[in-house]
Structure 1
Amino acid sequence: MTRLIPGILAMAAIVVASNILVQFLFGQWLTWGAFTYPLAFLVTDVMNRVYGAGTARKVVFAGFLTGVACSVIGTQITGEFGPLVTWRIALGSGLAFLTAQLLDVAIFDRLRDGVWWRAPLVSTLIGSVVDTALFFTIAFSSTLAWVEPANDVAWANEAIALLGQGPVAPLWVSLAVADWVVKLILALVALIPFRLIVKQITTRVA
């Protein structure tokens, strides 16, 4: 149980911080939450490397429950344009997190015996793609309007140039692409703290 506590606390802190920071815009395509949420993959990968897939999954489930709690609270808080968290966003967030993180654990575990950076990098990149695709599709795609008919997502489906430069696509696609680019960059940067944290923990345990 002792080995779980740091991972659970770190994951919970990241999930809570991301749920708060997602309310604040960063430029045209991102929110501040885009810079904290990907750190969840770092926590999962560190726990997986040091303590194994079973422990990592427990940390993931703790993060999922924290996210559910945040989403439920968010649906009860009304902002300028309605609830801070719609049920579609809550559903997309929960499914995306759980699916992507568990996939990350499985891929990491499969690759753990290779060169040290391959497992965290590959698992995070694939998990990030799944996370981004699931969340933005469930939360904003007009094809899933039946999930929450009362939630008007017309704004997210406005046809615009991709990231203001590319081919025409719904606005939510630009938001998703920008979000994934941040995840990609942070996946590369996170290799540094991953290496350092794993080394520190394994040295202390030894």
Structure 2
Amino acid sequence: MNIKHILPSDIEKESFRIIKSELDAMGKTVPEDLLPTVLRVIHTTADFEYADTMRFSEDVIEKAKTAIRSGAHIVTDTNMALSGISKKTLEKYGGEVHCFMADADVAAKAKEKGVTRATVSMDKAAELDAPLIFAIGNAPTALIRLYELMNEGKIKPLLIIGVPVGFVNVVEAKELILNSDVPYIVNEGRKGGSTVAAAICNSILYNL
């Protein structure tokens, strides 16, 4: 068994080197502007399939950086993603991260209407007086409601990161965003998750 002795500060750097080397060996080429995001998602999941299934709208990384520099806030659908996103970096540009899933008013309204808390969370997010980025890693109903709100003219996100994981309405919800006119980063298929949503946010924040 050949255990490498690597300084703690070098572990992430070495991981990214290995990922890039293995992508090259597989013959997978990722555009330079998208590479930091794809590498960080693979680093988070150890799943190389993301190199094939992630979808990016035109110039989305640059648009995302411009949004953050202009003070955009990030809204996510889980407290796990909220915990994982680099709030210090975002705060440098005047932004904040929000998750309304555990709010008492959201839970009460969701029960009253017979809908998910993620659905009501998107309604609450639409009331924020700030440019918004959405990072959805768990609830397809959040993406569905975002699509409805956009069509109703109630919200115009600067970016939607759509990577919910699961089996019910997940693929269909992602397709709605892929077919919208909003800038997007979406992973096709069933895979995704809160850690993936946070990784995508951080890949942008760390490369500003």
| TM-score, scaled to structure 2 | 0.27
Identify the structure with the greater helix proportion.
1
| TM-score, scaled to structure 1 | 0.27
